Amino acid sequence: MTLLVAAVIVHDKATNRVVLLQRSQNAEFAEGMWDLPVGKSEPGEPITETAVRELYEETGLTVKPEALKVTHIIHGAWGVEAPNGFLTIVFAAHEWTGEPENREPRKHAQVRWVDADAIPEDFVGTTASALHGYLTDGLQVSLDGWK
């Protein structure tokens, strides 16, 4: 079975900033690296609800499901929790309420606004390609681990 995952790019167009998180040193995956707010879908949960829930759980930001725009798809052949592969739907949100905060300090070292022109280099590869594609109106599909 393929694991379904949602990621959210919260983009403040007025200041050209995005909300990023840095994974903690004891994260299960990509320790110390930067990433988008991202998480796996619960059984029976629509992917838009996954995006809204994970964003809130990780950053404290609230978005409405209807405000999410699909911007990228990542299809991985394997994963830490997905030996049969994963499909990540990356959404962009331009409207939200709240200020970013680190609501999961066990998992994340920090959560903060980052200038879109100064994205950290040490970034999870798949979500980095999605974020770059979004910011440049470029690539909309990324593949990972396929032959």
As a whole-number percent, the residues of the chain with pLDDT over 90 amount to 86
**Domain count of the fold of the chain:** 1
User: Closest by alpha carbon to 38, among 17, 8, 83?
Assistant: 8
Give the chain's count of helices (H) and strands (E).
2, 8
Q: What angle do CA 65, 69, 71 make, to 5 degrees?
A: 140
| pLDDT for position 37 | 98
Give the pLDDT confidence of 47-73 residue by residue, as tens digits.
999 999 999 999 999 999 999 999 999
- Domain hosting residue 45, numbered range: 3-144
- The stretches in the chain having pLDDT less than 50 are none
| 83: Cβ contacts below 8 Å, ≥ 6 apart | none
Structure tokens at 56: 């809130």
**CATH number of the domain within which 126 lies:** 3.90.79.10
Q: Give dist(CA 98, CA 119) in Å, integer.
A: 22
